[in-house]
Structure 1
Amino acid sequence: MNILFVCTVNTCRSVMAEAIFNKIESENLIIAKSAGISIIKGSVVTENAAMEILNDLNIDIRGREAISINEDKLRDSDLVLTMTNYSREFIKENFPKYKEKIFSICEYAGVSGEILDPYGSSISVYEKIYRKLKGLMPIVLDKIKEEGRA
Structure 2
Amino acid sequence: MRVLFVCVENTCRSVMAEAVFNRMARRWRAESAGLKAGGEYDSMALRVLEERGYEVVNREPRSLDSVRLEDYALVVTVCDESLCVSINHPRVERWSVEDPKGGSREDYVRTLEELEKRVADLVRRLEDEGA
- TM-score past 0.5 threshold: yes
- Report the TM-score when normalising by structure 2: 0.88
Query: Residue deviations 1:17-37, cap 9 Å, x none?
Result: 000110111x2x211000000
Specify the alignment match of 1:35 in structure 2.
33
Residue 22 in 1 paired to residue 22 in 2?
Answer: yes
Specify the alignment match of 2:61 in structure 1.
66
Give 1:118's aligned amino acid. Answer: P
* Bigger share in helix: 1
Query: Residue deviations 1:48-75, cap 9 Å, x none?
Result: 10011100025356x8110101374311
Q: 1:128 aligns with which of 101, 110, 117?
A: 110
Q: CA contact under 8 A between 1:12 and 1:45: conserved in structure 2?
A: yes
TM superposition outliers: structure 1 runs of 4+ over 4 Å: none
Q: 2:93 aligns with which of 83, 100, 103?
A: 103
Specify the alignment match of 2:78 in structure 1.
83
Residue 3 in 1 paired to residue 3 in 2?
Answer: yes
Residue 45 in 1 paired to residue 41 in 2?
Answer: yes
- Report the TM-score when normalising by structure 1: 0.78
Query: Residue deviations 1:74-102, cap 9 Å, x none?
Result: 111110000134354221xxx3xx2x211
Unaligned residue ranges in structure 1 (runs of 5+): 106-113
Identity percentage over the alignment? 31
Please state how far the C-alpha of 1:15 moved relative to its aligned partner: 0.2
Specify the alignment match of 1:109 in structure 2.
none
Please state how far the C-alpha of 1:117 moved relative to its aligned partner: 1.2
Unaligned residue ranges in structure 2 (runs of 5+): none
Change (3 A) 1:54 1:72: closer
SS in 1 for 2:126: helix
Give 1:73's aligned amino acid. Answer: R
Q: CA contact under 8 A between 1:88 and 1:103: conserved in structure 2?
A: no
* Bigger Rg, structure 1 or 2: 1
Task: Tell me the distance in 1 between the aligned counterparts of 2:12 and 2:3.
Answer: 17
Q: CA contact under 8 A between 2:23 and 2:54: conserved in structure 1?
A: no
Give 1:34's aligned amino acid. Answer: S
